[in-house]
Amino acid sequence: MWMLLISTILFHSASTCIAYNDNNIINEPQIYTQIDSIARIPCNQLTNNSLCSLTPQTQLKQCAQDHTSNICHIYCDSHNCRYYKWVITHITININSIVLNCEHNSACYGMEIHLLDSIYSINMNEISILCGDTSCQHLNINLYPMQYRDDGRIFNMYCMNMKSCQFFKINQLTYSDTNTEPETLMNTELSIYCMGYATCDGAEVSYRYNILLNLYMFGPRSWNNKGLIIKVKEYDSINIECGNDNNKYYFMYDKNKVNLPNKAVYDFSFPCQDIIIYSDDKKCEMEYKLTDYYDFVEIIESDIEAHWIDTNLLYTPICIENDNKYDHNIKMEYNVTLNFDYKTCKQYFDPYAVDRNIEGIFSAVLLQFIHKNNNIITDIKGISVSGDYDCDNLMGYHQLMVTFDVKSTEESNDKIEFLLNINSDFYARSILLFDKYFQS
């Protein structure tokens, strides 16, 4: 059983379990308070701003010689850190914490950091990197095994602004790379905060032993970039928080248009969309699944004309194994009576109408059916309606062809067709709602 902790939701899929833990939830104001407590100062505000022209290694040497503080602040701009290769090996016996300030635009772009372990760095237990706009793109961090510490280190990466950390890489060398036994590897807590627009798109985190990853995804995604990739040995070493109260998006659901939302419209705003997690020979991908929080059948049948829908309540993040993401296309014929006027016909059935949303009737019933009756259909990709009706002549019965594009845990169409056919309970429910809605 794979275990993956997502602090916002409880769900079960075929072979993945995500548990809920309210104690782990953190919000953006808390993070900014945490960042401010580091007492960061931009280069241009330093009393001795000549530090900004020194390499990180030179600044670290000065910190090691200065006994006034056990925290070493390393200041970067695009001149002293961009594409800089930094092997941290210098004597740091009196340093407990390193803060790498990369808030200047492109300050640490392409920088390569090798965090080595030695008897001289035995007291260093925390490293924090602060990233501004585009400043940590293509940053490459290599974590090495530890032989001289028993309690590991804390590693924090704050990606605070737009596109701060796109395409960064964090890689843990395994014992096979360094001839070190697994039990002596570092026990590190790695926390990554992705807080701005498209902040961590295209990034990659790779490790196998003794690392706990806390991933806070608070910023909206980009349409064009790939999602973050995580490569691990076990799923139970990952905690993911997807969004918070600052990520709320609302839309108006008008029952007169039955405009059930198209998830593609909101995909870019879902922080965890397209995160891919590899674990040995397995793989799962983060997606957002429609929940049962809203019952659209009840909304359609209610006296209220319009409802505000919170997308955070409408969709929930779920990591789905690739072999549980089978696509199916099912067609069903409906014989219906369309006894309404020409204007209503054009509004709901004309394929060229701007607000044509007759599909929402069938979407609402299918959503209710999915949540109450089975776990075979996992998501609705789309529903389309076509037919032989003529809005100039609506007398008698007309045939509608409804096409359902759905995702399922089943590879074969057999079980899907058993659920969606003209003799099924779903068919009876959908035709009943159709008749009620149009009073046909």
pLDDT digits (tens, 9 = 90+) for 212-237: 899 999 888 877 678 899 998 876 67
Do 106 and 186 fall into the same domain?
yes
Do 330 and 282 fall into the same domain?
no
Distance (Å) of CA 210 to CA 172, 206, 228, 261, 358 = 10, 12, 21, 42, 53
Do 196 and 73 fall into the same domain?
yes
Do 100 and 155 fall into the same domain?
yes
Q: How far apart are CA 284 and CA 228, in angstroms?
A: 12
Q: How far apart are CA 96 and CA 117, in angstroms?
A: 14
Do 92 and 196 fall into the same domain?
yes
The DSSP result for 244-283, as a single string, is -GGG--EEEEETTTT----GGGTGGG-TTTT-EEEETTEE
Structural domain contains residue 123: yes
Do 45 and 147 fall into the same domain?
yes
3-state SS assignment for residue 74: strand
Instruction: Name the burial class of residue 102, with classes exposed (0-12), middle (13-18) and buried (19+) by CB atoms within 10 angstroms of its CB.
Output: buried
Query: DSSP class of residue 374?
Result: -
pLDDT of residue 357: 65
Structural domain contains residue 365: yes
> Model pTM?
0.79
Question: Domain limits at 210?
Answer: 30-247+273-291
- Spatial contact of 4 and 319, defined as CB atoms under 8 Å apart: yes
Do 398 and 280 fall into the same domain?
no
Q: Are strands 71-75 and 276-279 parallel, antiparallel or unpaired?
A: unpaired
Query: Number of structural domains, the chain?
Result: 2
Distance (Å) of CA 225 to CA 57, 119, 203 = 33, 42, 10
**pLDDT digit string (tens) for 107-123?**
999 999 988 766 556 67
Do 349 and 283 fall into the same domain?
no
Q: How far apart are CA 155 and CA 125, in angstroms?
A: 8
Mean of the per-residue pLDDT values for the chain? 77
Structural domain contains residue 10: no
pLDDT of residue 192: 96
Structural domain contains residue 314: no
Distance (Å) of CA 166 to CA 132, 134, 204, 206, 408 = 11, 7, 9, 15, 32
**Which tokens hold the place of 105?**
């635009």
Structural domain contains residue 315: no
Structural domain contains residue 303: no
Do 361 and 278 fall into the same domain?
no
pLDDT of residue 111: 96
pLDDT of residue 170: 94
pLDDT of residue 109: 95
Structural domain contains residue 309: no
Do 174 and 119 fall into the same domain?
yes
Structural domain contains residue 431: yes
Give counts: helices (H), strands (E), the chain.
9, 24
Do 139 and 233 fall into the same domain?
yes
Residues of the chain whose pLDDT is less than 70? Answer: 1-49, 67, 89-93, 117-122, 146-151, 174-186, 224, 235-236, 245-247, 255-269, 322-325, 351-357, 373-375, 394-396, 440
Do 158 and 207 fall into the same domain?
yes
First to last CA, the chain: 50
